Structure 1
Amino acid sequence: MSKSSLDRILNALKDDIQNRQAGEKLPTVRDLMEQFQASPITINKALKALALEGKIVTKTGSGTFVADPVQRRETKPTAWQEITLGSRYHPGDNLREFMANVPSGCIPLQSGYLDPELQAVEALQTSLKAVMRKPTVWGWAPTEGIEELRAWFAHEAGGYVRAADVQIVSGGQAALSTIFSALTEPGQNVLVESPTYLGALAIMRSNKVNPIPVPSDAQGVIPEFLESAFQKSGAKVFYTQPRHANPSGATLSPYRRKRVLEIAEKYQAFIVEDDYLHGLTFEGTPPPPLVSENENHVVYLRSLTKSVAPSMRVGAVIAKGAARARIHSMSVVDGLFVSRLLQEAALHLLTSPAWPKHLKKLHQELKYRRNIALQELRHIPGLTPYTNPTGGVHMWLRLPEGIRAEEFTRAAERNGVIVVCGNVYFPAEPNGDFIRMSFGSVDPQTLKDGIHRLREVLENWD
């Protein structure tokens, strides 16, 4: 049964409860099934939700009853908190809205995660079953992470990276939080590509660090502007996504890779390399990580959430010297250690024959869906891909002249399709009107339907 049907049953039951006395028995599950023409699973979901809200109580062998007044006491108002905390914009608001549930009936083309059909769920379940046999998986784990998993990430990074340089963390967002807490102080400037990942901007602003935009194009950050920004800002950290940048999809060109590393050395600065889509290049040969060419100036991070599944919150940070020590200390402060169960499951999956098979199938599917998106977009004049994506799950689309991103995003939602307003990815004023649209988070037919709805929005634009 759909979510809207479940909501309808819940609302009807709440109205019924309001008209009953405390302790009064509710109809049986069978009676409710007949009343609402619903399955026992749906009815039990509704009753469980009501029990969690404190509106009903279930007595084994007796039935379900209206909760007494004490059990269903109204929540006290929290308006006093606004006075105590003060009124201010929180830097995580955009990220929270981005992660919010999609309204019923809307097509979700905003997600940065794989379509559930493409996630490595079966292989991960096999790995979890295998490691659950170990009595140690529920116990303590080394604060740096288990040695074998650190060695795997080090080997993947290449160059002179060793297991001792690797810190296991709880996913990419946690990694960014740890890195910026370790490398920066409040009030300092950090250089970022413009546009850039909104989650990184949220962390910087939460830490009271100032993100300074550096212009980029389809070949990544522009080195001349990067050097000028280092000169003028006094920044000692540059945050970048050299492969399939979020949201633009740009990959740093070979010449610019060399120049960016040279500039970091010249200004004795750190490059924070966010390799969030490692393993998801589906066309062409991906360039190696920057850290493989300069492990002294590059602080590298990657996560498994994009390539495996959203709840596989396991990632790695690679650094050397004092930066490595500070990142380790901050990681311990933030969360002590990452679940040993997740680490062991990740290691089992990554070293199993299922992993390369999963990636091969994933590459084929993502390329197929990318091609569908490009084909459908050819029928929408003015909605132009910024790049031809060669990896990842999304594309960056420029809107027709005169159409504002915020207005278009709201109109798209009214027409039943969710995309991300491009403005949130700019650390300062946007340099154009864009939206980010995912092609890898839904099945092919849903993707076509979503793009068709975007076309309808433009066709009806006044």
Structure 2
Amino acid sequence: MSNDSTSRIAAGLRDWMAGAAPGARLPSTRSLVAEYQASPVTVQKALRTLTAQGLIESRPGVGTFVRAVRAARPADYGWQTAALGTPRAPLRPVSTAMRSAPNDVIAFHSGYPDRELLPERLVRAALARTSRSEAALSRPPAAGLPELQSWFAQELLAATPAGVTPPTPSDVVVLPGSQSGLSSVFRALVGSGQPLLVESPTYWGALLAAAQAGVRVVPVPSGPGGPDPEELDRAFEETGARLFYAQPNYANPTGAQWSPRVGDAVLDVVRHHGAFLVEDDWAHDFGISTDAMPVAARDDSGHVVYLRSLTKSVSPGIRVAAVTARGPARDRILADRRAESMYVSGVLQAAALDVVTQPAWQTHLRGLRHQLQSRRDLLVGSLRDLAPRAHVEHVPAGGLNLWARLPDGTDVDRLVRDCEAAGVIIAAGSDWFPAEPAGPFIRLNYAGPNPAAFREGARIIGRVLDAS
């Protein structure tokens, strides 16, 4: 019999049970076969379906019975409010960038590159090799595998100018992703209730980590070329802050990249105030028309705490990053990491190291540069042609995102809802502001899936904007 017959019998029995008392015995299989003109196998399939749904229960040697439905008592968690007290900081909602999306929509919202932009063969081969290695069964050092620490240190060494003392492998602490590194840095170097300077707009995950650490966020306006060093100096002076969080290369969400002149000026301000710059180099591997230029490479006095992640460029499944810091700052961060997670999975560390030390890794990065440029230019051109009111002031030289300014007065939340109803998911720019948004913005990821749909997505955004 077909599945239609199974469904027909199950539906008929549900109707019968609706008028039966809990514990009532169902007709025998023989009776059901005769009533529905079906085979015993089909009847048994229908009974198994109802059993899986919790509607009936079988008692061997006795029969099958309607299951008694117990009224669920409403859960009461009110006691937890008194036990937990008031949260130390408002709980920020998870950003739209972390949402999963069905395949039938045009997704511009994600913070991750599409699978086809990842070194899939390298990752699979690395995981296969690592699963057979000693790393699969041993506990790595708390600061990370020495070979991986050396690789991160060498990456900074390659950008270090003459006359500057480069970091050593012992300055590196391996992390289970840069998000956990941000939490540790804010807890260890800022502390609850203390001020933290951040670029505005900035990475929403840094704002989330700051909120959970209980630090007081102070925004510093930042444009396509980075922050104004004089504004930064004034913020340090007025707040007494000792830490500035920033993304000098391909900032999320704006795509801004600091020039060496701005980087040096910011570093001078930080040094003058005896403070730290936390440099989040999340997009180091995503340069298009320029290369990432870490400010940390020009500092040898411990003022820059440098975060470098491989999660987005290698694989979201291999959450490995590192923080490079010197002196007591490094010791405090490591102490926090030990308390938080003790160590990072040796399998993931070994797999990440395997990928980035293969000759094919550099080949992949060269190809990635061209793929990102093609996608970026396609989306920029599509917006200019089909959604000109979503104005992209700055075409980024790298990274994954476009930052689009909308007409004044645009209801961004409504725009997001209307676009999603039309099949396009976008992220409201408000997620990236530590205080009130400086205007109506949206962030669009050009590294997402299905670039063939970019023009259609831009057309829908333009149509919804025109109708708003």
TM-score with structure 2 setting the length: 0.83
CA 1:96–1:16: 2 relative to 1, 3 Å? farther
* Length, aligned pairs only: 427
The residue type equivalent to 1:277 in the other structure is: A
- Of 353, 373, 382 in structure 2, the residue corresponding to residue 367 of structure 1 is 373
- Within the alignment, does 1:401 sit opposite 2:408 as a pair? yes
Q: 1:390 is matched with which residue?
A: 397
Where structure 1 has 5 or more consecutive residues not aligned to the other structure, the ranges are 1-8, 36-46, 60-64
- CA deviation digits over 1:74-93, x for unaligned, max 9? 58525536744567696553
Cα distance in 2, alignment partners of residues 246 and 207 from structure 1: 21
- Evaluate the alpha carbon distance shift between residue 265 and residue 374 of structure 1 in structure 2; reply closer, same or farther with a 3 A threshold: same
Decide whether the 8 Å contact of 1:114 with 1:309 is kept in 2.
Answer: no
Tell whether the 8 Å contact from 1:55 to 1:66 is kept in structure 2 after alignment: no
Q: Structure 1 residue 370: deviation in Å?
A: 0.3
How far did residue 276 of structure 1 move? 0.4
Aligned pair 1:226/2:232, yes or no?
Answer: yes
Query: How many Å apart are 1:98 and its aligned residue?
Result: 3.9
1:243 and 2:273 aligned: no
User: CA distance change for structure 1 residues 99 and 67 in 2, over 3 Å: closer, same or farther?
Assistant: farther
The residue number in structure 2 matching 1:417 is: 424
Tell me what 2:145 maps to: 146
Go from structure 1 to structure 2 and tell me whether the alpha carbon gap of 1:457 and 1:337 turns closer, same or farther (over 3 Å shift): same
SS in 2 for 1:94: coil
1:453 equivalent in structure 2: 460
Deviation at 1:424?
A: 1.8
Which residue of 277, 280, 285 maps to 1:279?
A: 285
Offset at 1:181? 1.1
Which letter maps to 1:438?
Answer: N
Q: Is the 8 A contact 2:198 2:245 kept in 1?
A: yes
The equivalences for 1:321-332 within 5 A come to 321-332=327-338
SS of equivalent to 1:250: coil
Query: Match of 1:93, SS?
Result: coil
Letter in 1 for 2:318: M
- % of aligned pairs identical? 36
Aligned partner of 1:41 in structure 2 is: none
Query: What do the CA deviations read for 1:338-359 (whole angstroms, capped 9, x no partner)?
Result: 0000011111111012211221
Written as runs of structure 1 = structure 2, the 5 A alignment for 1:172-211 is 172-211=178-217
**Cα distance per residue 1:353-373 (max 9 Å; x no partner):** 221122122111111000100
- SS state at 1:215 partner: strand
Indicate the SS of the match to 1:95: coil
**Contact 2:184–2:333 at 8 Å: present in 1 too?**
yes
Report the secondary structure of 1:366's partner residue.
helix
Once the two structures are superposed, the pairs formed by residues 38-437 of structure 1 within 5 Å of their partners are: 55=54, 74=72, 77-80=75-78, 83-84=81-82, 85=84, 91-95=90-94, 97-102=96-101, 105-158=104-157, 159=160, 160-287=166-293, 289-295=294-300, 296-379=302-385, 380-437=387-444
Alpha-carbon distance in structure 2 between the residues aligned to 1:114 and 1:199: 17
Aligned mates of 2:112, 2:65 — CA distance in 1: 41
CA 1:346–1:104 in 2, change beyond 3 Å: closer, same or farther?
A: closer
Residues 91 and 203, structure 1, Cα contact 8 Å, conserved in 2: no
Residue 108 of structure 1, CA deviation: 1.8
How far the C-alpha of 1:401 sits from its partner, in A, is 2.7
Structure-1-length-normalised TM-score: 0.84
- Superposed displacement of residue 456, structure 1: 1.8
Aligned to 1:406, the other structure's residue is in SS state helix
For 2:56 and 2:123, how far apart are their aligned partners in 1?
A: 37
1:56–1:97 distance in 2 versus 1, CA, 3 Å: farther
* Aligned amino acid, residue 297 of structure 1: H
User: Is contact 2:408-2:439 (8 Å) kept?
Assistant: no
- Equivalent residues of 2:89, 2:214 under 8 A apart: no
The alpha-carbon distance between structure 1 residues 257 and 69, as it changes in their structure 2 partners (threshold 3 A), is farther
2:163 paired residue number: none
Q: Deviations over 1:285-311 (max 9, x none)?
A: 332x11111141000001111111212
Indicate the structure (1 or 2) with the bigger Cα radius of gyration. 2
Preserved contact between residue 91 and residue 202 of structure 1 (Cα < 8 Å) = no
- Give the whole-Å Cα distance in 2 for the aligned partners of 1:149 and 1:298: 20
Distance 1:131 1:188, change over 3 A: same
* SS of equivalent residue, structure 1 residue 378: helix
Deviation string for 1:33-87 (max 9, x for gaps)?
A: x99xxxxxxxxxxx9xx97xx859999xxxxx999669x9958525536744567
2:306 partner SS: strand
In the other structure, the counterpart of 1:43 is none
**SS state at 2:221 partner:** strand
